[in-house]
Structure 1
Amino acid sequence: MPQPLAYRMRPQKIEDVIGQQHLVGPGKIISRMVQAKMLSSMILYGPPGTGKTSIASAIAGSTKYAFRKLNAATDSKKDLQIVAEEAKMSGTVILLLDEIHRLDKTKQDFLLPHLESGRIVLIGATTENPYININPAIRSRTQIFEVHPLTPDDIRTAINRSLTDKQNGLGDENIQLDDDAETFLTTATNGDLRSALNGLELAAKSTPADDDIIHLTLPIIEECVQKKAFSHDKDGDAHYDVISAFQKSIRGSDTDAALHYLARLVTAGDMQSIARRLMVIAYEDIGLANPPACSRVVNAVYAAEHLGLPEGRIPLADAVIELCLSSKSNSGMAAIDAAMSDVAKGRGGDIPAHLKDAHYAGAAKLGHGVDYKYPHSFPNDWVKQQYLPDPIKNAQYYEPKQNGKFETALGEQYTRLRKAQGH
């Protein structure tokens, strides 16, 4: 049985990777690693079909290192030993370890010394958040890179490559793909290139030729992708427009508009985009004005993901209605962005000596932690002392808003504390 189209079209060098240009584009981190042949182990995390395996195979192809692929859940320690022996015999081996979040301690303990020696360059792939689901011992020895859903233009590029490539793609077939069918294919899979190519190949292989032309229409592609087109435009931007309108409607407190856009996303079966966007909205747009609402959104998303659709639409609708009608505040996002701006500009300075770590021999001789005042030893568990470095000791990042009782109270306390500190 021939390999699927998505497998056959995997890039053989880094320049051919579609999407993820923040990692593999000219001058970007993975591209630089490949160019210098200074590879470090890494974890790629993001949704299915976004190019994690493609990046790994392209790195191997560009560097000419041996490439092996294992699954952390199903392959054994013995399989890892075989890879390690190969690395000892022939030099560096790039190991793509799928589902790395399911790596058990026995396999992890075996891998660690090989990662440290550099004989095995590990590329872990996962759809789970590595900061939560991957053991710190592995995490500390890898760089973590997030991959994003591909854009419609990315998927269109991959489709065109597949239709013209005679060696690995469908170039030997005389395929006519209608414009609206192509546009649908670029948006309906929500950035999952594997699903898009699987749908395209199924359509091409299951549609009889007419006068030697395989004519692929929108209904054929819809059937093969198994998602109905609820809206799309000639530029293929409809999916992202819906998500944008969804967030802006909630931010603008228009409950009915938000429910309409939620309905579009539910109809498309796009649970992933709904879940991610709702949690972003909760903390970006409602935030400190109503923290309990943020917690309830997380619970609603959890319930919806476990219920699945169509039942999952109910907790999602409840969450959307509450977010629309809640007080709004983006002060938390604005505060961290302001602090990160200072860090990016190099504004900071040495950490005050009394705040430095004092839990080691010799710390006192350096003056570290010596003059630290333990707040719990003072009345009201607070004492005046400097926390920010000298160059920015008066910096203010948080600008309280008064759009809800919770943040109003926080703002009053924040103002009192800054005044007590002498700001």
Structure 2
Amino acid sequence: MRPQKLEDVVGQQHLVGDGKIINRMVKAKMLSSMILYGPPGTGKTSIASAIAGSTKYAFRKLNAATDSKKDLQVVAEEAKMSGTVILLLDEIHRLDKTKQDFLLPHLESGRIVLIGATTENPYININPAIRSRTQIFEVYPLTPDDIKGAIDRALADRQNGLGDWPISLDDTAATFLSTATNGDLRSALNGLELAARSTEKDSEGHVHLTLPIIEECVQKKAFSHDKDGDAHYDVISAFQKSIRGSDTDAALHYLARLIVAGDLQSIARRLLVIAYEDVGLANPPACARTLAAILSAERLGLPEGRIPLADAVIELCLSPKSNSGITAIDTALADVKAGKAGDVPNHLKDAHYKGAEKLGHGVDYKYPHNYENDWVAQQYLPNKIKNTHYYQPKANGKYEVAFGDQYRRLWHAQHNTAE
């Protein structure tokens, strides 16, 4: 079911949709090397295959960890003979210096169009020499609708799919299959194929796939369903809202549903967001303890990981709440995007170069550590917004009460006004 042209790619329409960047590259026949990064089964290899199919270039696939420099040399020789080869290099974050040095001149010449695939953040894990010669595109987990469409296509496709099989897939089973793999299409299709090939035909010669069969084949249990396939995301939403609303029992219930589904990734991500968005400055130590609980759960795995996760959920539920952090940064972002910025004051500008003083940069800057209590009043915001308040302290919890008092004292001292 691997797509042979861009129109067949499931999801990732921000890259391959009409008028989007990869689509434009292919139509203009101006391909450049790129790195695709994101979770497994979300379409990295499919996009590379579709680019090759749409451009009619030769397509080769290697693994940076297991294939050798000699394998790269074979691809380079083919590129010299045929003109251009699209090379999908899986696990590109594992590329060593010897292979990298061999590849670089071929990327420069354009004979090899490199499409690197990785689940690791390329800004952290990929060598700058490769990174600077590629465009970096993020791919995202597929939606249940994306996966449901791909399942329907696989069931109908007589050439590459299961179209010749007399399969009937129950609606509840289809819904579960489209949500249980957390956006991983490869796992969903593997589960579907295993179910189809391992289920005996009934008396009428049909293969009837039910929810228990699909659960068995993807090795996950259904924790809830609805006809639109939104149950998984509804549970995650209810999980966060229950913690935000300080309902410990409800939060533990939704945590249990996510644990039964084996979705440690969603639990970890959501808990960390909750800690900083909903508790935040009202109880900063809870944020650090939540991260520690997540790391412990990841080290332990499930089911033991349920213990630190439950501790974190209970603490976050019972902690005072404050969203002043997210509100402050979102207000500042809105100003910047609206053009409310202004010039950096001259005394704050970089003065680490010859001639800066002649421009007035860094002149009259007051170094706080030279003053009593390591603080001195001076203007930091641009003139245009010098009296702007972004942080609006809340009075929930001893930490933010203290932060708020200090913020107000400093603001009034900075502006030479009385509290």
Compute the TM-score of the two structures, normalised by the length of structure 1.
Answer: 0.89
Structure exhibiting the larger radius of gyration computed from Cα positions: 2
Alpha-carbon separation, structure 2, partners of 1:289 and 1:239: 30
Deviations 1:205-254 (A, max 9, x none): 12233333222122221221111222111111111111111111111111
Match for residue 12 of structure 1 among 4, 12, 21: 4
Question: What is the identity, as a one-letter code, of the residue corresponding to 1:407?
Answer: E
State the partner residue of 2:153.
161
State the partner residue of 2:344.
351
C-alpha displacement at 1:290, in angstroms? 1.6
State the partner residue of 1:3.
none
Unaligned runs of 5+ residues in structure 2 are: none
State the partner residue of 1:6.
none
Match for residue 315 of structure 2 among 313, 322, 338: 322
Deviations 1:141-174 (A, max 9, x none): 4444332221111111000111111221111222
CA distance 1:44–1:346, shift in 2 (3 Å): farther
Match for residue 174 of structure 1 among 155, 158, 166: 166
Match for residue 281 of structure 1 among 263, 274, 289: 274
Compute the TM-score of the two structures, normalised by the length of structure 2.
Answer: 0.90
Question: What is the identity, as a one-letter code, of the residue corresponding to 2:250?
Answer: A
C-alpha displacement at 1:267, in angstroms? 0.8
State the partner residue of 2:238.
245
Unaligned runs of 5+ residues in structure 1 are: 1-8
Alpha-carbon separation, structure 2, partners of 1:47 and 1:88: 33
State the partner residue of 1:4.
none
Alpha-carbon separation, structure 2, partners of 1:372 and 1:208: 80
- Identical-residue share of aligned pairs (%): 83
Alpha-carbon separation, structure 2, partners of 1:374 and 1:117: 51
> For 1:240-319, what aligned pairs fall within 5 Å after superposition?
240-319=233-312
State the partner residue of 1:61.
53
How many residue pairs get matched?
415
CA distance 1:114–1:271, shift in 2 (3 Å): same
Question: What is the identity, as a one-letter code, of the residue corresponding to 2:372?
Answer: P
Q: CA RMSD in A?
A: 2.5
2:96 is the counterpart of 1:104: yes
Alpha-carbon separation, structure 2, partners of 1:119 and 1:394: 56
Alpha-carbon separation, structure 2, partners of 1:93 and 1:385: 59
C-alpha displacement at 1:176, in angstroms? 1.2
2:22 is the counterpart of 1:30: yes
CA distance 1:352–1:189, shift in 2 (3 Å): same
2:400 is the counterpart of 1:419: no
CA distance 1:349–1:150, shift in 2 (3 Å): same
> For 1:365-404, what aligned pairs fall within 5 Å after superposition?
365-404=358-397
Deviations 1:4-32 (A, max 9, x none): xxxxx122222222122233333333333
* 2:322 partner SS: coil
* 2:208 partner SS: strand
CA distance 1:117–1:352, shift in 2 (3 Å): farther
Match for residue 339 of structure 1 among 317, 326, 332: 332
* 1:95 partner SS: strand
CA distance 1:245–1:215, shift in 2 (3 Å): same
CA distance 1:28–1:381, shift in 2 (3 Å): farther
Alpha-carbon separation, structure 1, partners of 2:413 and 2:86: 56
Question: What is the identity, as a one-letter code, of the residue corresponding to 1:284?
Answer: E
C-alpha displacement at 1:103, in angstroms? 2.7
Alpha-carbon separation, structure 2, partners of 1:269 and 1:147: 22
C-alpha displacement at 1:115, in angstroms? 4.2
C-alpha displacement at 1:50, in angstroms? 1.4
